[in-house]
Structure 1
């Protein structure tokens, strides 16, 4: 039964420093700091410098924040900086324009279009794994990052006329994804002036990226050809009034979607899943058996992906432990009551999927990798499992990301076994960036015997 607002516990986070608040702890050790707050209350007031930020630690409150788009607009720490960098696309635009943008963008991410991308995903995996040598170790995080970035480029821009631009976009995105977290965080804290050279280099790369995207869009328009990719769908899209997107809207949504598609999120999930399977050989054997039974010697296709039930559970459990977005930020648009507190407009509210997913009363034994907890459907109460957010602003690329991760894992494990180094389980720790990223994970590929 839902509780009244006054039933929730409200607390002030301890350990604030004069002038800095909790900014130093957020900078140095954000994940341990976040996890410590659920013991304090269901809604916890944190200070970044002198600015208050409210962290939601209860799934009912998280559900309220993420679903009530009238009271909670996109915004909060870092969001304004992201909008300045990447424009008003599907991920960064305010709620006032989001409904229209989502309706225009959604056809590009429909199930049939995603299904047509599977062959591109398989071809990318095959091309990149052809360079692997059995018994020669490599950093699986780097391999998965390159694989996801290449797949994202080919799914977004399939036309041959864009080959040069694909290379330029790929190079820019690698630099942008490495530097955007520092750029956003230092800007939000007002200390970007301390790093002028890094800031100038980042913005030069961002300008190159925008220019390359503009050139790709112009090339598509000149060709007048429909390509089986996301950019073609965006160019052909119309809203409810039968109006197409403006040139600026196309550019900003391409930049939003493409940056998200090629960021470290899906790649990290692939790398973590391979690492976790190596640490849990009994589960790995079951997954291998399922892949062999479903795929045989053929490549993954839409029907096969639907039948990979245990493999999907592995992906969902990996996303519970290591969600792409470790923070979801909102800004109060109208006065609202949350956990008995009246929050005025402009107040920053944060939901942390990482913190929510690791609360023991929501997910028993939360540190344990247990795909079987998904056998009966989504575990935990409503609002507790939110790796892609929730409500109308749930990540629009959720199904594309899940499909890509499943296809890559299935194709890799169909032909290879990957074994890790002998370090103790749990030694690997995530890297905190705009997304929660896997660290370097050295693994050794072994071509499976029947395919030697």
Structure 2
């Protein structure tokens, strides 16, 4: 974009209440409140209680904040609470440790390795959907959460060791994620003392979760086996100096990976995609035709995924509308000028992918579900589309997550059509806490009785800058 530093607008968010600031609006209607801020300015100051917070509303400023991890390190709202959960794993570790940790963790998440996980993704989707019955409604959020968690367990950990803990872990993660959101808001308002039972429950759940992680690590060490999974790679990894991770580093990164494997992020994207296709039958018909033409009755593999162009575009558009990480907090480490304002060290900043993705100046008609916008080389400014973050701390699992979502979506739609409850004409409403999740969503599966047999038809070559490049060529950096 062509804006310069002098073009950026700074503003104070209107409607602050004495003592509360904008906390009530953030609590009650966080998404609509965030989306109202770009009309005020490119950098908007609001208050959470008495605490000032700066929301970055311009993609160039967001790019600056996310790419300059030294001036704008991990920190800010929720960081302390999240670090309580994840320790100094890849997601939360300080900059000084991040580069080494990233290099140790990156090999199993490289694009060439991700292809090896596709058979497990297909088998898991088949196992869950194989229990569906024609015309019997089911909660697709529950079903897709089971699919994503089972895939995470199978690929990241030895299933025979960790499957025993999967259901309990999912319950713990749900409680902890909601608890972090509650702790951040009540702490900022100085009213945490009003909710002692919830705080105690949060810490009890956190302690139980840590016990589970310790049990998984102990089981690995006792088995003495080299399992073909990501955790075994982690425990045998060596840095450039030939040094392995310490026990503390292993534990913190196991917690990070186990949380990523069992949280509802990838499942939410699958559910939103199914929901959006149900509400847009013309697009759904085109997607099914593409899947039938490319796959027929065969399971997807990496070559087929490259040809499922519209299916990938559906996933990209779904992540534009419903990015799981709806807020990215950062802090300021040294005095810096941003949008003409001098921000002192310790300043809290927020970048919202959800808000950026829904700005009309960046994505025309942003509320409309339009996968075809991704058929063009530039559907919007590259720095404006950040469902996995940006910069050196961009999500390491981006290629894994995108591949998994496309594989599961294609496999489900090969065999089933799903329709939501006709009584409701309203779209589903996201559940907002630390993460943005799909709500429980009841849909009725019907088996597909016929499909096209146009298998293995060559696809046209896409331009290097198109949606293919964004989906499968970027490695991602958490």
TM range, smaller chain: over 0.9
CA distance in 1, matches of 2:203, 2:187: 13
Structure 2 residue aligned with 1:403? 403
Contact 1:76 1:330 (C-alpha < 8 Å) held by counterparts: yes
Unmatched segments (≥5 aa) in structure 1: none
1:387-446 Cα shifts (integer Å, max 9, x gaps): 111010111111111111111101111111101122565432211111111122221100
Structure 2 residue aligned with 1:191? 191
Contact 2:78 2:180 (C-alpha < 8 Å) held by counterparts: no
Is the partner of 1:40 in helix, strand or coil? coil
CA distance in 2, matches of 1:260, 1:35: 27
Is the partner of 2:53 in helix, strand or coil? strand
Counterparts of 1:90-105 in structure 2 under 5 Å?
90-105=90-105
Structure 2 residue aligned with 1:381? 381
Structure 2 residue aligned with 1:136? 136
Counterparts of 1:104-119 in structure 2 under 5 Å?
104-119=104-119
CA distance in 1, matches of 2:208, 2:295: 42
Structure 1 residue aligned with 2:176? 176
1:151 and 2:142 aligned: no
Contact 2:8 2:42 (C-alpha < 8 Å) held by counterparts: yes
CA distance in 2, matches of 1:430, 1:446: 25
Is the partner of 1:72 in helix, strand or coil? coil
Return the offset for 1:331: 0.3
Is the partner of 2:382 in helix, strand or coil? coil
Is the partner of 1:419 in helix, strand or coil? strand
Structure 1 residue aligned with 2:457? none
Instruction: Give the direction of change, closer, same or farther, for the CA distance of 1:335–1:96 in structure 2 (3 Å limit).
Output: same
Return the offset for 1:300: 1.7
Return the offset for 1:122: 1.4
Is the partner of 1:444 in helix, strand or coil? strand
Question: C-alpha root-mean-square deviation of aligned residues, in Å?
Answer: 1.8
Structure 2 residue aligned with 1:329? 329
Instruction: Give the direction of change, closer, same or farther, for the CA distance of 1:380–1:162 in structure 2 (3 Å limit).
Output: closer
CA distance in 1, matches of 2:378, 2:175: 36
Structure 2 residue aligned with 1:18? 18
Structure 1 residue aligned with 2:297? 297
1:391 and 2:391 aligned: yes
Structure 1 residue aligned with 2:257? 257
Between 1:21-30 and 1:96-105, the stretch displaced more is: 96-105
Between 1:1-10 and 1:371-380, the stretch displaced more is: 1-10
1:208 and 2:211 aligned: no
CA distance in 1, matches of 2:173, 2:229: 19
Structure 1 residue aligned with 2:359? 359
Contact 2:149 2:166 (C-alpha < 8 Å) held by counterparts: no
Unmatched segments (≥5 aa) in structure 2: 452-478
Q: How many residues align?
A: 451
CA distance in 2, matches of 1:185, 1:146: 30
Return the offset for 1:159: 4.5
Is the partner of 1:268 in helix, strand or coil? helix
Contact 1:153 1:170 (C-alpha < 8 Å) held by counterparts: no
1:317-348 Cα shifts (integer Å, max 9, x gaps): 00101111110110011111110111111101
Is the partner of 2:396 in helix, strand or coil? coil
Structure 1 residue aligned with 2:240? 240
Return the offset for 1:163: 4.1
Structure 2 residue aligned with 1:372? 372
Instruction: Give the direction of change, closer, same or farther, for the CA distance of 1:362–1:305 in structure 2 (3 Å limit).
Output: same
CA distance in 2, matches of 1:21, 1:378: 38
